[in-house]
Structure 1
Amino acid sequence: MMIRSNWTRSALAIAVCAALAACSDKPVEPPAAAAPSAATTAPEQAAQAPQVQDGVTVKNPWVRAALAEQDATGAFMTIESTQPVTLVGVESPAAQVAEVHEMKMDGDVMKMRQIESLAIAPGQPGELKPGSYHIMLMALNGPVTPGQDLELLLKFKTADGKAIDMPVRAQVRDVVAQGGGHHHH
């Protein structure tokens, strides 16, 4: 009988997710923003001012805390824009790998996959939240603990091809300890 450590299980889960990743050459359209619920949002925290650059607004960016043995976590936020933009990438000094992912039901199974881009239409907020679209931070470079601010660099393209590289500071939150939504990657 072989006993697997939490690290091995985490590495296996990441490998399985990577193997399931399917890239599309079409931007994915996010569903219309729904009213927040306790199951899909982080616990109430001190209000964070929206971050704005080149007509793109990021509201309430947060990252789920990761236990010391975890090698991955998720980042969540609401993205709005005054013009059509597409989120085409993300980087973070907190992780060796940062990708835009989606989770959706495939029959009776919730599947996660990397997507190449996420279209944000003017007046239609893009919700990145647990159990849906989100940013995966993998191969973490260190602990991700509650109270930290993590840097993310969101990479957008406008309809006319202009690149917008938007730095965003996201607060790390301990969702489980505070009774918020619980979601594993």
Structure 2
Amino acid sequence: MQQEPLQEPFQESMREHRPLGVSGLGGWLILIQIGLWFTLIMLLVQINQSMLTIFNTETWEVLTAKDSGLYHPLWAPVIIFETVFNLMFLVFTVYVIVAFYRKKAILPRLMIIFYSLSLGVGIVDYLLLYQIPIARELEDGSSVRDIARSAIACAIWIPYFIKSERVQNTFVR
């Protein structure tokens, strides 16, 4: 009498379950990768050029000293807000990039936070700067264009990360 091999159920459960359909870091996720690396580089440049220059004693004094012609009580809080946000967003972006390449299941939620936060902080920053007369006068429309770009990115990429088959099949660990 020959016995049936007992290994079949065990072997079946040990097989890697591959998702049906598209998966991997290709397709539209290539654009996401480019965007994440671009964001990282731009944050480093912005922190290096803008923030370090503003915290130069002379520049800080011109903007925050009450006897200065450019003084406004919101300059210091706005500059500190922007600096703290940029530093925290830099760390967050690195975390998102690591989660992306490790194909972590949390990545879709992180990307939704990433895009929403970019839009929300862009709006708050614009509204704060709009309260400062000299900043309002110097506004050339670039802030509004940045907010519009951010809103378009949210409108495109948030639904993508919610509904995409590739996203659902790729970020599962």
- Shorter-chain TM-score: which interval? under 0.3
TM norm structure 2 = 0.25
**TM-score, normalisation: structure 1:** 0.24
Q: Greater share of helix residues, 1 or 2?
A: 2
The structure whose residues are more often strand, as a share, is 1
